[in-house]
Amino acid sequence: MAAITLSKLNKHYGSLHHAVKDVDLAIADKEFVALVGPSGCGKSTTLRMIAGLEDISSGEIRIGDRVVNNLPPRDRDVAMVFQNYALYQHMTVYDNLAFGLRNKKVPEREIKAAIDRAAEMLGLHELLKRRPRQLSGGQQQRVALGRCIVRNPLVFLFDEPLSNLDAKLRAQMRIEIKRLHSQMPTTSVFVTHDQVEAMTLGDRVVIMRDGEVQQAGSPLSVYGHPVNRFVAGFIGAPAMNFLDVTIRKEGDTLVAQSRAVKLAINETSARALEAWQGRPVIMGLRPEHLSLGAGVLSRSFPAKVEVVEQLGSEILLETRVGEARVTVARVPPETQVSAGDQVRLSIQPGRLHFFDPDSEAAIVA
Query: Phi, psi (5° rounding) for residue 4?
Result: -120, 130
Nearest approach, Cβ of residue 100 and ligand ADP (Å): 25
Taking the least distance from each CB to ligand ADP, the nearer of 12 and 325 is: 12
The only residue of 13, 107, 271, 348 in contact with ligand ADP, by rule CB under 6 A: 13
- Pick the stretch among 33-41, 55-63, 146-154, 338-346 that binds ligand ADP (CB under 6 A): 33-41
Q: Does 39 bind ligand ADP (CB under 6 A)?
A: yes
CB of 18 to ligand ADP, least distance (A): 9
CB of 340 to ligand ADP, least distance (A): 41
* Shortest Cβ 342–ligand ADP spacing (Å): 43
Residues 319-348 that bind ligand ADP (CB under 6 A): none
Query: Comparing C-alpha atoms, which of 260, 263, 237, 229 is closest to residue 248?
Result: 263
User: Which is nearer to ligand ADP, 163 or 291 (by Cβ)?
Assistant: 163
We find the least distance from the C-beta atom of residue 219 to ligand ADP, in angstroms, to be 20
Q: Which residue is nearest to ligand ADP (CB)?
A: 44
Task: Output 17 or 168, the one with its CB closest to ligand ADP.
Answer: 17
Judged by CB under 6 A, which stretch of 39-47, 176-184, 293-301, 321-329 contacts ligand ADP? 39-47
Cα–Cα distance, 359 to 101 (Å, whole number): 52
Query: CA–CA separation, 215 vs 25, rounded Å?
Result: 10
At its nearest, how many Å lie between ligand ADP and the CB of residue 205? 15
* Spatial CA neighbour of 40 closest among 216, 212, 172, 197: 212
Binding mask 42-81 for ligand ADP (x = CB under 6 A): xxxx------------------------------------
37 binds ligand ADP (CB under 6 A): yes
* 84 phi, psi to nearest 5 deg: -95, 20
Closest approach of Cβ 17 to ligand ADP, in Å? 5
Binding segment for ligand ADP (CB under 6 A), chosen from 40-48, 132-140, 174-182, 253-261, is 40-48
Cα 242 to its chain centre, rounded Å, is 21
Q: Applying CB under 6 A, what is the total number of residues that bind ligand ADP?
A: 11
Neighbours of 114 (CB within 10 A): 19
Q: How far is the CB of 227 from ligand ADP (least distance, A)?
A: 19
Q: What distance in Å separates the CA atoms of residue 157 and residue 86, rounded to the nearest whole number?
A: 14
- CA dist., res. 331 & res. 307, Å (int): 13
The amino acid at residue 86 is A
Decide if residue 17 touches ligand ADP (CB under 6 A): yes
312 dihedral zone (left: phi>0; alpha: psi -120 to 50; beta) = left
Q: Which is nearer to ligand ADP, 42 or 284 (CB)?
A: 42
Determine the residue type at 72.
Answer: P
Count CB neighbours of 134 within 10 A: 12
- Choose among 289, 334, 295, 294: nearest CA to 314: 334
Q: 3-class SS at 119? A: helix
Backbone phi, psi, residue 175, to 5°: -65, -40
Residues forming the site for ligand ADP (CB under 6 A)? 13, 17, 19, 37, 39-45
